[in-house]
Amino acid sequence: MTNDKNSKYDLGERTSVFGENTIKFAKLIPINEVSRSLIGQFVRSGTSVGANYCEADCAETKKDFEHKMGICKKESKEVKYWLRMIATTAPELKDQCKVLWRESNELNLIFSSIVNKSKKKI
């Protein structure tokens, strides 16, 4: 899984790498009746983080920016949930889930901070 130190502070790059790592990890999950829907939900939420960040970065209004950042915050939190379910379904992938969970948690904290600071500005 890729995580270049130079991209740590570039949220556009960081969320793109997160989406790529989400896809790479999803390909490792054994497909069965239970995991099939978990994988789909996980990939949708994991790749949505970066897509919504791109939209927020190009927002035309403060309200639009806050809305898109709010979606980033919600999607990054949702990824953590799906990773927990995947770790339960495929315990052999638990360590890899933890790596992605930590990154998702960091992104969620960053987006939470951005949303809170944006709402405080007049």
Judge contact between 104 and 83, C-beta under 8 A.
yes
Instruction: Specify burial of residue 9 (Cβ count, 10 A radius: 0-12, 13-18, 19+).
Output: exposed
User: What global pTM score does this model have?
Assistant: 0.89
pLDDT(2) > 90: no
pLDDT(71) > 70: yes
pLDDT of residue 9: 80
Q: How many domains does the chain have?
A: 1
In a domain, 1, yes or no: no
The position carrying tokens 């930590």 is 102
- From the list 20, 14, 117, the residue with the least C-alpha distance to 69 is 117
Strands (E), the chain: none
In a domain, 4, yes or no: no
Structural domain containing residue 98: 10-120
DSSP assignments along 89-106, one per residue: H-GGGHHHHHHHHHHHHH
What CATH number is attached to the domain comprising 26?
Answer: 1.20.1440.60
pLDDT of residue 113: 96
